Amino acid sequence: MIQFKDLSLVYPNGTQGLKDVNVTINDGEFVVIVGLSGAGKSTFIRSINRLVTPTDGELLIDDEDILGYKGSKLRSLRTKVGMIFQNYNLVKRSSVFKNVLAGRLGHTGTLRSIFNLFSKEDKALAYQNLKRVNIEEKLYNRADQLSGGQQQRVSIARVLTQKPDYILADEPVASLDPPTSHQVMKYLKKINQEDGITTIVNLHFIDMAMEYADRIIGMRAGEVVFDGPVSEVSEET
C-alpha cells in the first residue's frame, strides 16, 4: 500500500511540483494519472521510488515513511518499486538478454554484479519474462536494433525480472504510435491482473486512460483534482 499524506514538493527554483497530495493506493490496483504537461504526474511517480524527494508531508510504502531513506534502504526501495520510462532506458549496445538480467542486479551481491555473474535461476527467470512479452526471439539482438515498441517490451521484461511489488510507468507510450501504445498498455494490464503487481502509469491521453485504468487520478498544477473509478469521470473533468 502507498499512502501520500499532505505530500508537497517544491523544486529548488521554487516550482511547486506537488501540493498537499492525499492519496492511498491499495495493493493490486491499476491506477492511471492524467493531466497536461507540467501538471505534476512525473513528480508524483518519481516520488514513489525517490528519484525526487518531497519536501513536506509523509509518503508511506507498506507503512514505512520512505522520505528519509538513504543508502541500502533506498536501493532496496528501488528493487521493490520497479520503473518503466518513456525512452526505455536500455543499455543500447548491450544484448536484450543482458538488459533483462540487469533486473536482477538489486538482488545480487555487488561483486557478483560487477562480473555479471548470474545464477541459472536468474537466467531462467529473464528468459521466461521475455517470453511473457513475446520478445524472446530477440534475445541476442542488441537493444538498439529493436523498434520502440519492442524496446518497451524488453523494459517490461527487465522490470518483471526485478520481481517488484510495485511498477511505476512514466509516460511509457508517449514515444509510440497508437497501435503499439495499445499493445504495451495491454501487457502492463495483463501483468497487473495475473501477478497482482500494483501499477501506476502516467498518460497524457484521457481516452487511453479510460480504456485501461481501474482508477484515474487527475492532476493540475501539482494538485490532485480528480480521484475515482473510470465510471465517475465526467465530461467536465
Q: How far is the CB of 15 from ligand ADP (least distance, A)?
A: 4
225 binds ligand ADP (CB under 6 A): no
Shorter beta-carbon distance to ligand ADP: residue 43 or 79: 43
Residues within window 151-190 making contact with ligand ADP, judged by CB under 6 A: 171
Pairing label, strands 30-34, 198-203 = parallel
Tell me how far apart the alpha carbons of residues 35 and 73 are, in angstroms, rounded to a whole number: 31
Q: How far is the CB of 22 from ligand ADP (least distance, A)?
A: 17
**Neighbouring C-alpha atoms within 13 Å toward the C-beta of 2:** 27
89 binds ligand ADP (CB under 6 A): no
Tell me how far apart the alpha carbons of residues 189 and 186 are, in angstroms, rounded to a whole number: 5
Packing angle of the helix pair 148-161, 120-132 (nearest 10 deg): 140
The radius of gyration computed from the CA coordinates of the chain, to the nearest angstrom, equals 18
Identify which range of 37-45, 112-120, 129-137, 151-159 contacts ligand ADP by CB under 6 A.
Answer: 37-45
Beta carbons within 10 angstroms of residue 72's beta carbon? 8
List of residues 6+ apart from 223 with CB closer than 8 A: 18, 19, 20, 21, 40
Are 136 and 127 in contact by the 8 Å Cβ rule? The answer is: yes
Identify which range of 33-41, 105-113, 114-122, 152-160 contacts ligand ADP by CB under 6 A.
Answer: 33-41
37 binds ligand ADP (CB under 6 A): yes
Shorter beta-carbon distance to ligand ADP: residue 33 or 96: 33
Identify which range of 13-21, 53-61, 64-72, 105-113 contacts ligand ADP by CB under 6 A.
Answer: 13-21
One residue of 4, 19, 30, 35 binding ligand ADP per CB under 6 A: 35
Residue ranges in contact with ligand ADP by CB under 6 A: 11, 13, 15, 17, 35, 37-43, 86, 171
